[in-house]
Structure 1
Amino acid sequence: MASVTLSSKFQFSIPKAVREELHLKAGQRFAVITKGDIISLVPIPELAELRGIAKGADTSDYRDRTDRLERYQ
């Protein structure tokens, strides 16, 4: 398990082994999620990386706005 130390400027460096394992790049953005005493850093993917993520999704049961409007009139 890798560990880091928080600097006096409230910064830390991600260990090289972790950066290489997760293919992290300089300038990459992260979402910071807290739950109790736990801090999670989740990489925010680039828009290009999300291309095709829903390929093959079943849209046969998709509800559109007109369906919702008819229901409440």
Structure 2
Amino acid sequence: METVKISPKFQVVIPAKVRKSLNLKAGQRVRMIPIDGKIEVVPVPEAKSLRGFAKGIDTSIEREEDRF
């Protein structure tokens, strides 16, 4: 567990050990989620890393005749 200090501008530095373990890069976006008095920091994946995530999904569903 790492401890960080909040700056006067409410900024924090993510410790190197944590950055390396999560493979975080400078400029990468993260979500700050408050949960029961705690903050969860969740990396936001880049859009291009999601390409093809639904490959092979079955899209053959029956549709009403008046729908495309």
TM-score for both structures, normalised by structure 1: 0.72
- 1:49 to partner: Cα distance: 0.6
Alignment coverage as a number of residue pairs: 67
Moved >6 Å (runs of 4+): none
Question: 1:18 matched to which residue of 2?
Answer: 18
Pairing of 1:43-62 with structure 2 (within 5 A) = 43-60=43-60, 62=61
TM-score for both structures, normalised by structure 2: 0.77
- 1:35 to partner: Cα distance: 1.8
Once residues 63 and 50 of structure 1 are traced to their aligned partners in structure 2, the CA distance between those partners, rounded to angstroms, is 27
Q: Give the residue type in structure 2 aligned to 1:29.
A: R
- Determine what percentage of the aligned residue pairs are the same residue: 48
Once residues 54 and 18 of structure 2 are traced to their aligned partners in structure 1, the CA distance between those partners, rounded to angstroms, is 28
Question: Could you give the per-residue CA deviations for residues 28-72 of structure 1, whole angstroms, max 9, x where no partner exists?
Answer: 111121122011111111111111212233434x476x58x89xx
Higher helix proportion (structure 1 or 2): 1
Structure 2: gaps (5+ residues): none
Question: 1:30 matched to which residue of 2?
Answer: 30
